[in-house]
Amino acid sequence: MRWLKTVAVILAVGLIALGGRYLLLSSHDPVGTTTTTGTAAIGGPFTLVNGDGKTVTEADFRGQYMLIYFGYTFCPDVCPSTLGTVGRALDMLPADKAAKIEPVFITVDPERDTPKMVGEYVSHFHPRFHGLSGSPEQVRAATQAYRVYAAKVEEDPNDPTAYLMDHSAIAYLMGPDGTFLTHLSHGLTAEQVAEIMNKRVE
């Protein structure tokens, strides 16, 4: 009977190992990367509205690279700085590569940022920018798909419309098939952003 116990132990160890591997493959760290492979679980479906009032989904960008950034129009510094950098970087790229990239800005503040406001806002940084907003539920679904953090801070108790948003300050470069390629951290220069995109866009 000793050999039966030995077999049982081996099977138990094997099942534990397989279970642990499954948990690792299906779990994610705080920034949304798969633990075992390092493949980022970033991106997914969204349904939002552009500045012209047209419904836009992730499928509208298939076949193109998408450089996507989440922020809000009332942002005092990080958002305009990042959008300005992206706009300049696009102009530095070879024309054929720049044409393959769709820059997208999604608000994290749908309570104040209407689609029209967002559309007008991004037009100041580059004519090819897509500005998207939507209902709080639609925006929440998009932020969750891209593992974006966003929350109200510094609220004025006397004015519910006066507040700032704390949010992730990372831009994501997505491939033509919608898969995550790389991220662009806040603080990069336009030259650095252009270099990264030039290497990634085929």
Q: pLDDT, tens digit, for every residue of 126-156?
A: 999 999 999 999 999 999 999 999 999 977 7
pTM: 0.79
Estimate to the nearest angstrom the gap between the alpha carbon of 183 and the chain centroid: 8
pLDDT on residue 69: 98
Give bridge partners of residue 133 from the DSSP assignment: 49
Q: What is the DSSP letter of 34?
A: B
CATH number for the domain running over 47-200: 3.40.30.10
Q: pLDDT, tens digit, for every residue of 5-46?
A: 333 333 333 333 333 322 222 223 333 333 334 556 899 999
> d(Cα 186, Cα 104) in Å, to the nearest integer?
16
Mark 95-130 as b/e (b = at least 16 C-beta within 10 Å). eebbeebbbbbbbbbbeebbbebbbebbeebbeebb
3-state SS assignment for residue 159: strand
Q: What is the CA radius of gyration of the chain?
A: 21
pLDDT on residue 191: 97
Q: pLDDT, tens digit, for every residue of 58-116?
A: 999 999 999 999 999 999 999 999 999 999 999 999 999 999 999 999 999 999 999 99
**What mean pLDDT comes out for the span 147-166?**
88
Q: Is the dihedral of CA 136, 114, 87, 190 positive or negative?
A: negative
What share of the chain in percent tops pLDDT 70? Answer: 80
> d(Cα 117, Cα 123) in Å, to the nearest integer?
10
pLDDT on residue 39: 57
Residue closest to 186 by CA, chosen among 61, 26, 70: 70
Instruction: Supply the mean pLDDT for the chain.
Output: 84
